[in-house]
Structure 1
Amino acid sequence: MVSASAWATPSTRTELIENLVSGVDRYNPSNVGILEDYLYHQIRSEEYDCLANLAILKLYQFNPDLYNPDVVINILIKALTSLPFPDFNLCISLLDERSASTNPDEPDPLPLLLPVLISLHNLLQQCRFPAFWTLYRSEKAESLRDNYTVECVGFEDSVREVVIRGVKAAFKSIRMERLGNYLNLSDEDLNGYVAKLGWSIEASTGVVSIPPNPDNQIESTVVQEQIELPLTFA
């Protein structure tokens, strides 16, 4: 789980990007190209910098002529797997309302893909993991897969990290079949993934034991309060 400080200032952020995100040049439209290049670096390297990506969306708000739908979609894809942080909703709040483009030479893919991305986010947030994979593999998301997530290195594994965070918080043990449905993995791929996590599997029952953590352990807590009342005399 990423800490709040690492979220705000990731260790992979360069000094140049730090100056653009935190300095007076944050709203300088001439810097949008640098931030967009940084986004595509994140796409290729599995790095992530929410504040830098939000700076791009803010520049698009102030300068509509800079708007690039492919950049917006890639920002939303990266934000999709940041749960439980509210990155996706923060990005959505900075988007202007747009209708589908009537220009056949340069159609805007965002109006068609945005409902799919929002649905995928909602399913992940609600821990409806099998439904997420069903929608993601469906014809509705075909354009998203073929044109965008295929270029985002480690996207599906990042989704699985969200799933694992949910499983660790809710279960002490889980059947392999159920876990496979959550992760969209089976057979050797599933066995390898569980082994990589360091979780143990009971071969006779097919049950995976999840190590204890603060979220899946029930512990009673006794809270004591001492209240001192002022003495009053009649």
Structure 2
Amino acid sequence: MQAWITPPTRTEIIEGLVSGVDRYNPSNVGILEDYLYHQIRSEEYDCLANLAILKLYQFNPELYNPDVVVNILIKALTASPLPDFNLCISLLDERPINATLDEPDPLPGLLPILNGLHDLLNRCRFPAFWEVYRSEQLENLRDNYTVECVGFEDSIREVVIRAVKTTFTRIGADRLGSYLDLSGPQLEAYVKKLGWTFDASRSVISVPPNPDNQIEATVVQESIKLPQLTKVISQAAKG
């Protein structure tokens, strides 16, 4: 949680803009936008800094940049199942629809698509996510946005792995491959990189034990004093 609030990659300058009163200064929006594109190029992520951009757009409609908003939402997709995407969407309710733009606003067309992708991730429908993401209908999203987001597909795979780790102790290779959109040597290399065990003879992958995928018996002890028990018996007798 602390890493979400203050990512270790955040610089002192950005920390001052995010945590101080300067976060509402419209003259700083360019610095925050540059920081977003640094995140896009470097596989870093800072939700609070990106939310600060959206808040500045709310207060200053003339600053609105739809490409920036789309990139913020794309980065937020990779944070599932954290609520980052919904937090971003909540700041778009007052999106300036009459902003002066040199080109048509791409956000109205892309927003339902991004919402749909987020819904599939949130419901752990990973094969469906990849099918939709790779479809011809999303060619514009891939060619103009996610291609610029370094490591986007691997970040989505990390979302998958977080879900698998909390659910499975063993999983079939074909099933995991459909979740990750990987097969053959690529899948084997990915599993090896995770440090998981791949039993090729049975085509089964073992997921290391962790607090979420282990069932442990819990003993609950309750202390009831005699006077309390007497009251309960007395009330039952009256009933």
Q: TM-score range by the shorter chain?
A: over 0.9
Equivalent-residue separation in structure 2 for 1:99 and 1:51 (angstroms): 21
1:123 pairs with 2:117: no
Partner of 2:198: 201
- The verdict on how the C-alpha distance between 1:102 and 1:24 changes in structure 2, with shifts beyond 3 A counting, is closer
| CA-to-aligned-CA distance 1:149-193 (integer Å, 9 cap, x gap) | 000000000000000011111111111111110000011111100
Instruction: Select the residue among 152, 155, 176 that pairs with 1:155.
Output: 152
Partner of 1:37: 34
Instruction: Select the residue among 41, 46, 50 that pairs with 1:49.
Output: 46
- The verdict on how the C-alpha distance between 1:88 and 1:102 changes in structure 2, with shifts beyond 3 A counting, is closer
1:14 pairs with 2:7: no
Partner of 1:114: 111
Equivalent-residue separation in structure 1 for 2:144 and 2:7 (angstroms): 27
Equivalent-residue separation in structure 2 for 1:32 and 1:164 (angstroms): 34
1:222 pairs with 2:219: yes
SS of residue paired to 1:170: coil
Task: Please tell me the root mean square deviation across aligned C-alpha atoms, in Å.
Answer: 2.0
SS of residue paired to 2:219: coil
What is the number of equivalent residue pairs in this alignment? 229
Say if 1:84 and 1:125, in contact at 8 Å, map to a contact too: yes
Instruction: Select the residue among 69, 73, 76 that pairs with 2:66.
Output: 69
Equivalent-residue separation in structure 2 for 1:103 and 1:49 (angstroms): 28
Equivalent-residue separation in structure 1 for 2:42 and 2:172 (angstroms): 33
Equivalent-residue separation in structure 2 for 1:219 and 1:104 (angstroms): 58
Say if 2:62 and 2:100, in contact at 8 Å, map to a contact too: no
Say if 2:169 and 2:208, in contact at 8 Å, map to a contact too: yes
- Structure 1: any 5+ residue segments left out of the alignment? none
SS of residue paired to 2:191: helix
- Structure 2: any 5+ residue segments left out of the alignment? 231-239
Alpha-carbon deviation of 1:24?
1.0
Say if 1:8 and 1:51, in contact at 8 Å, map to a contact too: yes
Say if 2:78 and 2:156, in contact at 8 Å, map to a contact too: yes
Q: Percent identity?
A: 75
Equivalent-residue separation in structure 2 for 1:57 and 1:105 (angstroms): 20
Structure 1 length normalisation: TM-score?
0.93
Alpha-carbon deviation of 1:100?
8.0
The letter for the 2-side match of 1:11 is P
The letter for the 2-side match of 1:128 is R
1:141 pairs with 2:120: no
Instruction: Select the residue among 206, 210, 213 that pairs with 2:210.
Output: 213
Structure 2 length normalisation: TM-score?
0.91
Say if 1:149 and 1:155, in contact at 8 Å, map to a contact too: yes
